Amino acid sequence: MQTRAFLRKANRLGESPIHVWYTHKTVYFSHATGLSIAESKWDKTKGCVRECYKESGSVNLLIGDLRFRLMECARHLLLCGIEPTIEAVRARFQGGELVATPVTLAATVTEATIVPLVISKPAQPTFEKMLAKYHVDSLHVTEGTKKQRLAFVQNMRDFSKAKRWVLTFEGMDAPFYETLAKHELYTKGSFNGFFGSVVKRLKAFLKWCEEEHAIAVNPAYKKFKVYTEDKEVVHLSPAEVEQLYLHPWKGAIRKYVDLFVYACETGYRWSDIVRSKELRLEEGLLVLRTQKNRGWTRIPATPNAIAILQRYDWDLNLVPEQKVNAAIKKCCLEMGLDSPITVYRHKLAEAIPFTKPKYELISLHSGRRTFISNCFARGFAETEILAMIGSTDAATLRRYIKVDGDVLKQKMRAS
């Protein structure tokens, strides 16, 4: 039996949670310390924080205390005649009490007989209790992630109430998954994209319960399929973007159009548009660390983008995103962008076609696709576009690229 500290996979902030494992006969269980640290500060050989860092003293002291308490549980079990298995040590560590079980001794026994002892294991927290704890438990997630967790928690409670389904960790099985799918896709009318996000967050929640709180969960949940869906995101040509920008919009509409055009000129997501005060202009390039993947953008500063930034003193945190999306559809309708477009949505394996006018499909996210598609049409290579938007994921980039038919015809004639 032994203990050792180690690092788990790094989170989005680049910090790795510190865990301590207890091992008995090659089997182990992991216990979270509640602390995280950059991997560069960790000494893998010694299983502790390198002494050259100021936090090494307090962190290593906590690690040492946790290892000591785990070993004390194991030694106590040995003294009581109980094999210190991972189940026994974990139960004892979590507050289980030792209760003697009386036995009948044979008359011929001359040596002292060890009375078997059993461990009363503390009750496992309920599903609802862990849901209530999920969005407020960790200090190592962003506010945006906490909001997503809260939305997931409310969604699971709504499902439980609507279907009168008691949520339990043991009940995370195929019948539950099927009921959840029917509720989200057919009762509520959502599609694979939303349903897949619910399942993805559910699996993350259950994994958190297992790894961070040592809760036993039905392993069938690991086979829950996470459906994905590439929603049709329309894009505008450079001429359409310019036409939209030069139109003499009045009042608040000017702000909405400027924000949308800025997205088309830079490819920034909304989470980065509202952080425009953090932008740096370096040799004609807009430099910003993105909120989502923490990459650095290096986007050529077009005249329209600079004019928009200067118009609002480099502060584009002007209005809510929902207002921009609603207004930009009306503006695009006024500009005559109403050609019919057929898109497909999916419920599991079923494809459902919808035909809508172009303006109804335009949103702020169209700005990102517009930027990437127009860069591709201008002849930029994938690696160059990735460098501009601060990403390394070529597969995701390709989902944003929409090849315009006119460009294809021009290239065919040129060849």
Q: Give the chain's largest Cα–Cα span.
A: 106
Ranges 114-118, 199-203, 257-261: which has the least confidence: 114-118
Beta-bridge partner residues of 3: 22
Is pLDDT at 171 greater than 90 in this prediction?
yes
Q: pLDDT of 316-338, one tens digit each?
A: 999 999 999 999 999 999 999 99
- Dist. CA 380–CA 126, nearest whole Å: 54
Say what percent of the chain tops pLDDT 70.
88
Q: pLDDT tens for residues 282-301?
A: 999 999 999 888 889 999 99
Contacts 24+ apart (CB under 8 A), 176-181: 177/224, 181/348
Residue 356 CA to residue 361 CA, distance in Å, equals: 7
Measured CA angle at 258 (ends 254, 262), to 5 deg: 175
Considering only residues 410 and 175, tell me which one the structure prediction assigns the higher pLDDT: 175
Q: What is the pLDDT of residues 361-384, one digit of tens each?
A: 999 989 999 999 899 888 888 889
| Model confidence, pTM | 0.56
Please give the C-alpha separations between residue 24 and each of 88, 114, 373, in angstroms, as whole numbers: 11, 22, 57
Number of neighbours of residue 204 by Cβ within 10 angstroms? 14
Instruction: Quote the DSSP letter at residue 242.
Output: H
| Residue 247 and residue 201 in contact, taking contact as beta carbons nearer than 8 Å | no
- The residue among 121 and 247 whose pLDDT is bigger is 247
Residue whose C-alpha is closest to residue 308's, from 265, 260, 262: 262
402 pLDDT band, cuts 50/70/90, is low
Instruction: Say what the pLDDT of residue 403 is.
Output: 60
The DSSP element (H or E) to which 373 belongs, if any, is: helix 364-377
The pLDDT value recorded for residue 161 is 94
Confidence at residue 97, expressed as pLDDT on a 0 to 100 scale = 53
For residue 21, pLDDT beyond 90: no
User: Averaged over 51-74, what is the pLDDT?
Assistant: 86
Strands (E), 97-246: 97-100, 117-120
Decide: 184 and 197 in contact? Cβ < 8 Å: no
* pLDDT tens digits, one per residue of 89-100: 888 777 655 444
Confidence label for 191 from pLDDT (cuts 50, 70 and 90): very high
CB atoms within 10 A of CB 21: 17
Q: What does the mean pLDDT of the chain come to?
A: 85
Q: Which of 16-30, 83-97, 105-119, 303-317 has the highest mean pLDDT?
A: 303-317
Structure tokens, 259: 């924000």
Angstrom CA distances, 203 to 10, 225, 354, stand at 18, 10, 31
**Distance of alpha carbon 264 from alpha carbon 328, whole angstroms:** 12
Q: Where is pLDDT greater, at 220 or 124?
A: 220
292: its two tokens: 């989502």
More confident residue, 114 or 172: 172
